[in-house]
């Protein structure tokens, strides 16, 4: 079936979209193409002719299919959705997007930071969490990350950060990872990175999926109410599925198993109607609170403990539609922290201030035109218009003579164009009421910015024992990858002594180096009360919802056992995935065939959250000689996952070194309960951590 639809864009222009397979193929200029298989030649074996405009246009366009990838956050995955405001915060903000009951369309792009567009989904890296709200008062972009703080305090250091972490300038590796000389050289010389490094070395940078990570606006912003009163605010996204992360060995193996692990997870979740959801929370505070803290709220390397200012939930984000086209939408979407709406405002955070310049600028080099706002994914969904004109790729066709203002064209019946509105328009909060300070022009930072360690310590001390071990081990791993720059690891450990002596000792031991002298702190750190909100383990949900169970079976397996499991997993809102030695399936005990979803060799257990082994004695005996089967079980155990097994499958568990614990069960209800969890207590028995 062919369907041709004509839609009208926001500028009044029309777009034609043809679906189906029977429409006539045309050139870009609408000329029907008679032959899409052969170029025009002078004789069957003769040269190709320059006059072949069909060939030339096709190759010309193809040659220019790629645009410059983002300098950071190049690899990303996007989705459409809706934001629903669920609380009345009109006392704080007049923004339409926050009107209780208001539904606003959104586009969200998740990303890694360091790798190129074609890199993998699972390096140890910060994740971008960028949300474009198409509000009825214009687009608001909340361009955040999955970590609430940042590496640097001042925008002037951003190019240094990015140069140091991306692949090294001469050798062009490593791709997508910070475990190399130049990053740690730079970071160890920049104590202000310490707090963010703690987060980066934790499992926060190994999220299990985009659906199970938090998002943060990072900077302090302002909310402004109808009376013009401003309050400070921090934005938080809290995943409905709770927090989940992988562990390092698993992340490494995931990279081999599926480069697109998180992109696929997001796509499939939306595709199957398991719409990912986050609650939007705000931490609101005033100037008096800000002044009383031992840190500066304008410093992006600091967070505000939730125990001091609880997060208040004001809305829900639901991602419910996959993009129609990756390039047109996910690649061309342009996020701008300068996209702000009446009722929200910037703070003087010097990092945010730098971003306000950068993003507009980068879109011109990436998308090649000042008219990038006309690309459908970037265009506001509300009416928009002004007197800006022309430029590359102009798609709007304004009528009449009004391209200047003021004008009096209306007096003669001509369209005079739009006008500013003091009532409805965006008005910057007066600095005096916004709580900001100004002064002489100086290259300087505020006094409390000099405290680089208090919150790094707060973060470390808020973690569980297992999480602390992961952090120490990550530092050891990353610093072990520093090659010739011998001075770097001790310099880093010297900084860590200001965070926590035990952490510093563990990292030094893990590296096999002597504990260096403590680095001098620019400002002595203070102790802050630990906060449960900073731990992943304390914010996990024991649920199968959003998790997958790999069910390994083979010839002679019991079909009833398999079906019971599949039904139980589905009832618990999980996803069952059948894995067999051959993807065509296996012949079950009753002689029937059961098709598999994945072949064993291509479906290692790291792509699942829990595994079930359903084998007969004969089936098990056969798989004992199959390395992929042994590895399947061994990795599930090593990655701290639940393993359910039929009695006859025990020899496979034994060969894989599985030892009994709460996560090793039979195939009944105990398995379904266990499959929604990870068994971190198992870890000391399966690997040595720093
Ligand atoms: Fe970005 N950042 N950034 N960044 N950033 C970009 O903009 C920049 C910072 C973040 O999915 C670029 O369109 C500067 C903090 C995300 O398209 C660029 C500074 C946070 C994304 C840029 C920062 C972020 C970007 C590259 C320091 C968390 C991906 C392409 C002053 C709050 C958005 C582009 C997407 C992308 C500059 C710091 C998050 C070059 C100069 C802090 C999620 O403009």
Pocket test for ligand 1, best of 263, 359, 365 (most atoms within 8 A of CB): 359
d(CA 282, CA 312): 5
Residue nearest to atom 20 of ligand 1 (CA): 144
Residue burial 2-39, b: 16+ Cβ < 10 Å; e: rest: eeeeeeeebeeeeeeeeeeeeeeeeeeeeeeeeeeeee
Whether ipTM > 0.90 holds is yes
DSSP letter, residue 544: -
Compute the distance from residue 311 Cα to the ligand 1 centre, in Å: 24
What one-character-per-residue DSSP string does 249-285 give? HHHHHHHHH-TTHHHHHHHHHHHTT---EEEEEEEEE
DSSP three-state, residue 141: strand
DSSP letter, residue 578: E
With CA atoms as reference, report the closest residue to 212 among 573, 459, 541.
541
With CA atoms as reference, report the closest residue to 140 among 339, 289, 292.
339
First vs last C-alpha separation in the chain: 62
Model confidence pLDDT, tens digit, residues 473-532: 999 999 999 999 999 999 999 999 999 999 999 999 999 999 999 999 999 999 999 999
Please confirm, yes or no, whether 145 is among the known catalytic residues.
yes
Tokens of 487: 């001075």
Q: Counting atoms of ligand 1 from 1, which one is nearest the CA of 155? A: 31
Residue nearest to atom 42 of ligand 1 (CA): 150
Pocket test for ligand 1, best of 106, 132, 143 (most atoms within 8 A of CB): 143
d(CA 516, CA 498): 12
Does the CB atom of residue 353 touch ligand 1 within 6 A? no
Does the CB atom of residue 252 touch ligand 1 within 6 A? no
Model confidence pLDDT, tens digit, residues 248-294: 999 999 999 999 999 999 999 999 999 999 999 999 999 999 999 99
Does the CB atom of residue 362 touch ligand 1 within 6 A? yes
| Long-range pairs, 166-174, Cβ under 8 A, ≥24 | 166/114
Pocket test for ligand 1, best of 67, 72, 204 (most atoms within 8 A of CB): 72
> Is the CATH number 1.20.1250.20 carried by domain 3-63?
no
Residue nearest to atom 30 of ligand 1 (CA): 70
Tokens of 332: 């061309």
Q: Where do runs of H (alpha helix) occur along 414-453?
A: 431-434
Compute the distance from residue 73 Cα to the ligand 1 centre, in Å: 7
Does the CB atom of residue 358 touch ligand 1 within 6 A? yes
Model confidence pLDDT, tens digit, residues 83-105: 999 999 999 999 999 999 999 99
d(CA 620, CA 534): 43
Average pLDDT, the chain: 95
With CA atoms as reference, report the closest residue to 410 among 419, 398, 422.
419
Provide CB contacts within 8 A for 658, sequence distance 6+.
Answer: 633, 634, 637, 643, 664
| pLDDT band at residue 430 under the 50/70/90 scheme | confident
Compute the distance from residue 580 Cα to the ligand 1 centre, in Å: 43
Q: Where is 78: in which H helix or E strand?
A: strand 76-85
d(CA 650, CA 167): 46
d(CA 544, CA 549): 9
Compute the distance from residue 393 Cα to the ligand 1 centre, in Å: 25
Pocket test for ligand 1, best of 156, 199, 355, 367 (most atoms within 8 A of CB): 355
With CA atoms as reference, report the closest residue to 546 among 511, 516, 567, 575.
575
Provide CB contacts within 8 A for 310, sequence distance 6+.
Answer: 283
> Is the CATH number 1.20.1370.20 carried by domain 456-537?
yes
> Span 307-335, mean pLDDT?
98
Provide CB contacts within 8 A for 95, sequence distance 6+.
Answer: 135, 137, 140, 223, 341, 342, 343, 344
Q: Is the pLDDT of residue 442 over 70?
A: yes
Provide CB contacts within 8 A for 551, sequence distance 6+.
Answer: 562, 565, 566, 576, 577, 578, 579, 611, 612, 614
Q: Going edge to edge, which strands form the sheet with 575-580?
A: 598-599, 575-580, 548-553, 610-614, 642-645, 664-665
d(CA 420, CA 422): 7
523: left (phi over 0), alpha (psi -120 to 50) or beta: beta
With CA atoms as reference, report the closest residue to 129 among 105, 104, 112, 153.
112
Among 139, 145, 378, 498, the active-site one is 145
| pLDDT band at residue 439 under the 50/70/90 scheme | confident
Does the CB atom of residue 128 touch ligand 1 within 6 A? yes
Residue nearest to atom 29 of ligand 1 (CA): 73
For the chain, percent helix, then strand, then coil, each to nearest 5? 35, 20, 50
Confirm if 579 and 597 have CB atoms less than 8 A apart: yes
With CA atoms as reference, report the closest residue to 598 among 645, 647, 552, 666.
552
Q: What are phi and psi of 372, to 5 degrees?
A: -60, -20
Please confirm, yes or no, whether 163 is among the known catalytic residues.
no
Q: Is the pLDDT of residue 309 over 60?
A: yes
What one-character-per-residue DSSP string does 151-171 give? S-SSGGGHHHHHHHHSSPTTT
pLDDT at 19: 56
> Span 411-440, mean pLDDT?
83
Confirm if 493 and 504 have CB atoms less than 8 A apart: yes
Confirm if 346 and 233 have CB atoms less than 8 A apart: no
Q: Is the pLDDT of residue 540 over 80?
A: yes
Does the CB atom of residue 109 touch ligand 1 within 6 A? yes
Residue 655's Cβ-count burial label (10 Å; 0-12, 13-18, 19+) is middle
Query: What does pTM read for this prediction?
Result: 0.94
Domain ranges of the chain: 3-63, 76-160+195-374, 456-537, 544-686
Does the CB atom of residue 158 touch ligand 1 within 6 A? yes
Does the CB atom of residue 144 touch ligand 1 within 6 A? yes
Q: Which CATH architecture has domain 76-160+195-374?
A: Beta Barrel (2.40)
Q: Is the pLDDT of residue 180 over 60?
A: yes
With CA atoms as reference, report the closest residue to 320 among 279, 272, 281, 280.
272
- The residue to which tokens 């699972």 are assigned: 122
| pLDDT band at residue 417 under the 50/70/90 scheme | very high
Distances (CA, A) of 635 to 212, 288, 609, 640, 686: 22, 52, 11, 8, 10
* Measured CA angle at 683 (ends 678, 638), to 5 deg: 75
Pick the CATH number of 544-686 from 3.30.460.80, 3.40.190.10, 3.40.50.880, 3.90.870.10: 3.40.50.880
DSSP three-state, residue 326: helix
Residue nearest to atom 18 of ligand 1 (CA): 359
pLDDT at 14: 59
Q: Is the pLDDT of residue 438 over 80?
A: no
Q: Is the pLDDT of residue 435 over 70?
A: no
Confirm if 310 and 340 have CB atoms less than 8 A apart: no
pLDDT at 8: 61
d(CA 604, CA 609): 11
Does the CB atom of residue 130 touch ligand 1 within 6 A? yes
């Amino acid at each position: 079936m062919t369907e041709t639809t004509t839609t009208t864009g926001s500028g009044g222009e029309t777009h034609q979209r043809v679906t189906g397979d029977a429409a006539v193929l045309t050139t870009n200029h609408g000329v029907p193409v008679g032959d899409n298989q052969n170029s025009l030649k002078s004789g069957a074996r003769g040269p190709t002719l320059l006059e072949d405009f069909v060939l030339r246009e096709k190759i010309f366009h193809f040659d220019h299919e790629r645009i410059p990838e983002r300098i950071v956050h190049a690899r990303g995955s996007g989705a459409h959705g809706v934001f629903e405001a669920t609380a009345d915060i009109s006392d704080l903000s007049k923004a339409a997007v926050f009107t209780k009951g208001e539904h606003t369309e959104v586009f969200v792009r998740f990303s890694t930071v360091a790798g190129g567009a074609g890199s993998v989904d699972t390096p140890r890296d910060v994740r971008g969490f960028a949300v474009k709200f198409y509000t009825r008062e214009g687009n608001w972009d909340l361009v955040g990350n999955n970590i609430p703080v940042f590496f640097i305090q001042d925008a002037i250091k951003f190019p240094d950060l990015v140069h140091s972490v991306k692949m090294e300038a001469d050798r062009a590796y490593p791709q997508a990872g910070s475990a190399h000389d130049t990053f740690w050289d730079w970071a160890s010389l920049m104590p202000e990175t310490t707090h963010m490094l703690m987060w980066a070395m934790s499992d926060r940078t190994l999220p299990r999926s985009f659906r199970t990570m938090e998002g943060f606006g990072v900077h302090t912003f302002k909310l402004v109410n109808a009376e013009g009163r401003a309050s400070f605010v921090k934005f938080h996204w809290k995943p409905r599925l709770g927090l989940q992360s992988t562990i390092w060995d698993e992340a490494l193996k995931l990279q081999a198993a599926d480069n697109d692990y998180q992109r696929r997870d997001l796509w499939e979740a939306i595709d199957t109607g398991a719409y990912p959801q986050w609650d939007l929370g705000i931490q609101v505070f005033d100037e008096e609170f800000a002044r009383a803290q031992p840190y500066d709220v304008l410093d992006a390397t600091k967070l505000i403990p939730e125990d001091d200012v609880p997060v208040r939930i004001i809305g829900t984000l639901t991602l419910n539609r996959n993009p129609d086209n990756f390039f047109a939408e996910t690649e061309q979407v342009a996020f701008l922290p300068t996209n702000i709406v009446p009722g929200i405002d910037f703070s003087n955070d010097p990092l945010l201030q730098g971003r306000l310049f950068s993003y507009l600028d980068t879109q011109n080099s990436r998308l090649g035109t000042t008219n990038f706002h006309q690309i459908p994914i970037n265009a506001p969904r509300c009416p928009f218009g002004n007197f800006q004109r022309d430029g590359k790729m102009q798609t709007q066709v304004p009528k009449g003579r009004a391209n200047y203002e003021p004008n009096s064209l209306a007096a003669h019946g001509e369209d005079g164009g739009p006008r500013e509105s003091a009532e409805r328009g965006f008005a910057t909060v007066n600095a005096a009421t916004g709580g900001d300070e100004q002064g002489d022009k100086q290259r300087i930072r505020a006094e409390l910015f000099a405290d680089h360690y208090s919150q790094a310590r707060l973060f470390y001390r808020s973690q569980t024992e297992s999480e602390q071990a992961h952090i120490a081990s990550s530092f050891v791993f990353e610093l072990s990858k520093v090659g010739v720059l011998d001075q770097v690891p001790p310099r880093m450990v010297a900084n860590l002594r200001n965070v926590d002596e035990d952490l510093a000792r563990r990292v030094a031991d893990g590296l096999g180096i002597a504990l260096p002298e403590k680095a001098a702190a620019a400002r002595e750190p203070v102790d802050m009360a630990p906060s449960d909100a900073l731990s992943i383990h304390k914010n996990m949900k024991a649920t199968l919802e959003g998790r997958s169970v790999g069910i390994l079976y083979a010839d002679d397996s019991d079909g009833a056992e398999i079906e019971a499991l599949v039904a139980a997993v589905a009832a618990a809102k999980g996803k069952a995935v059948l894995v067999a030695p051959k993807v065509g399936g296996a012949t079950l005990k009753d002689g029937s065939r059961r098709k598999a979803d994945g072949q064993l060799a291509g479906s290692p257990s790291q792509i699942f959250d829990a595994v079930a082994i359903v084998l007969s004695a004969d089936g098990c005996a056969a798989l004992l000689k199959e390395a992929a089967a042994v590895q399947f079980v061994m990795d599930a155990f090593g990655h701290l996952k639940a393993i359910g097994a039929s009695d006859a499958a025990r020899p496979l568990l034994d060969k894989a070194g599985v030892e009994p614990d709460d996560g090793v069960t039979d195939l009944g209800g105990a398995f379904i309960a266990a499959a929604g969890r990870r068994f971190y207590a198992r870890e000391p028995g399966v690997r040595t951590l720093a």
